[in-house]
Structure 1
């Protein structure tokens, strides 16, 4: 599979531009993801072009769009594979950031109507874990451009959020990732965190 990106020459850098290369160095051979074979960059007419050649994955994604809409009941080994991979990802140190405290402060009150928690526990996350970025059989984790630090349990929490229309799948996510059932503690600022 090949991906191609185009940016103005002065903007050909940053988290998304470098994400797959950084993910390849940390996770290829350790987590189930398409292996990055080669990256080629060139500039012309004031634009930077980037082409990446990834391992071709024949498996279909769990969903064609971000939200899971059709029933899906993967076997136990699918769930254990996903859990192992996310545990491995979370154990790797990175300088990259997927989610910032400022994002939490802005979005939690806006979408949930509650005060934002002060995040004190961070771990490396895929950062865009949703059914469209998981394959049905292995599962392979797709689209690593935005990986980085996020609140502990972020990937596990995003998956049921995108799966609420399929309650059995969303419940299986909760059963597979105990971090989703942990109680919040109150920190000195009065805000809540996990």
Structure 2
């Protein structure tokens, strides 16, 4: 069963904030399996053409409340799917952030790809292929990371998700920071490099 179909079964439409999956068709041709999925049409444009926010964006408080409430419902769903592995944290965080992997106080379910190209206003949360278990605060830390190029929006993310900056959120923040610094090392997301290095310095001091 695919992650998108699993997400539909696990979360439903999240009060309309997850586009409903209407139909799934599986086929096999020459030993290769194919799957076609039909979802409800989303008329609202995404808030950014790319994951990294390139312009200041300040949705209304109602939008932030919807996002926080939707992600809280996601965390409450039990699953054996894995989005972040402890082994990755133990390897990547020391290498890219420069601290031992923080202990995870709570593993929760995460969408695991919350960035500005997967969000609309009114709120729809798109692209559910990566969802699974992750350290508490992982979705908030991901959105914060992709907001770092726009400090005012990044500050608003912190206001909406007080887990950021708390002891409970340290493991998630260090994981996301390591993930993106790893992409920088490969030549991607270079616009975030300075912001990520500043963030990793803050994490080391915590």
> Does the TM-score normalized on the shorter chain lie above 0.5?
yes
Q: Equivalent of 2:20, from 13, 31, 35?
A: 35
Distance 2:168 2:9 in 1: 34
Give TM-score, length-normalised by structure 1: 0.82
Shift of 1:110: 2.2
| Deviation, structure 1 residue 120 | 3.5
Aligned to 2:75: 90
Distance 1:110 1:25 in 2: 37
Counterpart of 1:174 (choices 158, 167, 185) is 158
**Structure 2 Cα separation of the partners of residues 43 and 183 of structure 1:** 48
Distance, in Å, in 1 between the alignment partners of 2:168 and 2:14 is 31
Unaligned runs of at least 5 residues, structure 2: 170-206
Larger strand fraction of residues:
1
Shift of residue 112, structure 1, vs aligned partner: 1.2
> In structure 2, what is the equivalent of residue 148 of structure 1?
132
Separation (CA, whole Å) in 2 of partners of 1:142 and 1:110: 31
Residue range with higher mean Cα deviation, 109-118 or 149-158: 109-118
Matched residue SS, 1:180: coil
For residue 162 of structure 1, what is the aligned residue in structure 2?
Answer: 146
Q: 1:66 aligns with which of 51, 58, 69?
A: 51
2: CA distance between counterparts of 1:73 and 1:184?
Answer: 26
Question: 1:82 deviation in Å?
Answer: 0.1
Matches of residues 39-118 of structure 1 in structure 2 within 5 Å? 39-118=24-103
Q: How many Å separate the matches in 2 of 1:37 and 1:109? A: 43
Q: What is the RMSD computed on CA atoms of the aligned residues?
A: 1.7
Could you tell me how far apart the structure 2 residues matched to 1:78 and 1:115 are?
36
